[in-house]
Structure 1
Amino acid sequence: MDAFARCKAQIDYPCVWQYKLIGADRQALQAAVAAQLGDAPYSLSDSRQSGGGKYLSMNLEVSVDSDEQRRSLHLALAGHPAVKMVL
């Protein structure tokens, strides 16, 4: 067993997962989330703004049912042009 397999966290699904989205425009980030989640319930709130004001971050909380769904949403958000980074 490699070190990664030994350190992998056990996640019990379904659960509420948190993502931090970083981008340049609040409305564009909101639209990116809405495009991916549609009518699914979620919470999106402001987090921080960079010192120069060029970037902002938002916290997204959403219920996920599986590891596959959690990873798929991460990839979909990261691939949206309005999203610079997903943590």
Structure 2
Amino acid sequence: MFKEKIQYPCQWHYRIIGNDKKELNEAALEILDKEFITTPCKESKSGKYHSINIEVLINNQQERDEIFTKLRKDPRIYYVL
């Protein structure tokens, strides 16, 4: 299978989903120890679920994976894309 080669450093985007926009932003602030940009994204029709996009400069594959793992383990975040 073909695996796309990523050129580092690069801007990487994560989308995190949870039930509270404020908590999602707080989680991002606590987890990321570098500059990043967040932008609000979709909200479910019922308003129960919210998502935000995070854009951050990633230096290598290991850093990318570490951030993903930290985001995934946070109880305020239900999904990481």
In the other structure, the counterpart of 2:11 is 16
SS in 1 for 2:55: strand
How large is the RMSD of aligned CA atoms in angstroms?
0.8
Out of 7, 18, 25, which is 2:20 matched to?
25
Task: Give me the TM-score of the superposition, normalised by structure 2.
Answer: 0.95
Unaligned runs of 5+ residues in structure 2 are: none
List per-residue Cα deviations over 1:33-84 (Å, max 9, x = no partner). Answer: 111113x110001001001111011000000000010011001001101000
Paired residues, number: 81
1:82 aligns with 2:76: yes
Percentage of matched positions with identical amino acids:
32
Deviant stretches of 4+, over 6 Å? none
SS in 2 for 1:13: coil
Q: Which has more radius of gyration? A: 1
Unaligned runs of 5+ residues in structure 1 are: none
Alpha-carbon distance in structure 1 between the residues aligned to 2:70 and 2:45: 28
